[in-house]
Structure 1
Amino acid sequence: MNHLIDRRLAGGNKSAVNRERFLRRYKEQIRRSVKGVVAERSITDIDKGGNVNIPARDIREPGFRHGSGGDREIVHSGNREFTAGDTIPRPQGGGAGGGQGNEGGEGEGVDDFVFSLSREEFLDLFFEDMELPDLVRSFLGDVPERKWVRAGYRREGSPNNLAVVRTLKQSLGRRIALSAAIRDELDAARRELEEA
């Protein structure tokens, strides 16, 4: 069996893969929410990203719990507490657990899941069901967003803040300067050898 390891760098945004997976998994719920957001906005604000709500009941995932039946007669290595044939009582009530404190007050008790979509993601979901030519989609979708960028140069710090070319040039200059003393000693030794 072959194992493939993806060693591509995720760039500055390491959670991009998880975000894409989330958007793929809940695409229908997100599309419904985008339609609701568009209905609430004015027509001039459609080309902006926005916060999207997904009800908690739509993103519920399965969980593990103790089953009511079944026998296991396995003792794993490294176990010093139990031996083969020991019986362990199961938790009562299917392992639901009592928990601490009193029960909650009135209301649902679970909030909606809210996250923000970038401008491109928002427009892609908005135009997905429409049968528009690519010209209209590209005209509305290609307005660039602005991004803050630091001005100036830094000589120390994390690599993503450094001016790489400038730092490399300075590094080469330091190496040449540090090797000058060794070169002078080498030249002096050569002169002494020639004189002798």
Structure 2
Amino acid sequence: KGEKITIPSKSTSEPRFRLSPDAGERQWVAPGNKEFGAGDKIKKPPKQGGKGQGKDASDSGDAEDAFQFTLTQEEFLDIFFEDLELPNLVKRTLKETKATAYRRAGITVAGSPTNINLVRTMRNAHGRRLALKRPSTREMNELKERLFALERIAEPSEAEIAEKMALVEKLQAMEARRRWAPFIDPLDVRYNAYEPTPVPTTAAVMFCLMDVSGSMGEREKDLAKRFYMLLYLFLKRRYERVDVVF
């Protein structure tokens, strides 16, 4: 969620150096001069005493609008906490506190069924079927269709009978080959391997203490609340989980 930030136009102007129109000497050529010659001295024009309206307000529609842009919360916090870091003591303590997290560590041949790698398993099974020349389902369906066509013939010839017997023997051989070369073999199965890795603990507790004596007025309490809010936002950028204790 972003918020719109408006900057006045006068705040966007940059300082620049320019020659003063009321001092110094200049030389230039004015084309079309009919009154003066070389060496003539000309008085400077008198100063104008009128009051202009400035560039922010103009009747001709040339006024400059304020610069406006949208800034998200993350962008604002990046700018606001740009130069702030945790103390070295806190960083050192954070590094010494370790937790265990499981991360991917390649592929293994044994593991839990929930960690099975389907892509690698199917790739291994496909390569094994190609190497063993396992008959495909499409080839067997084509032979079965031809066999059914021959069986529908009422009076087959000797050649058709011989072809029918050859198809039956071929289908039996293909079925036997498919049985000892299954679609997926246990040797094809691969699992995703995970190994425990020590990682720094990213949790913190923020203690908020406030003086409740008479010296704490409404202004001081409001400043303390603002400080706690900024501190909490800063810690949220360094820790995954922050518990607040009042």
Q: Given the two structures, how large is their TM-score scaled by the length of structure 1?
A: 0.26
Structure ranking higher in strand proportion: 2
**More helix by proportion, 1 or 2?**
1
Task: Give the structure with higher Rg (CA).
Answer: 2
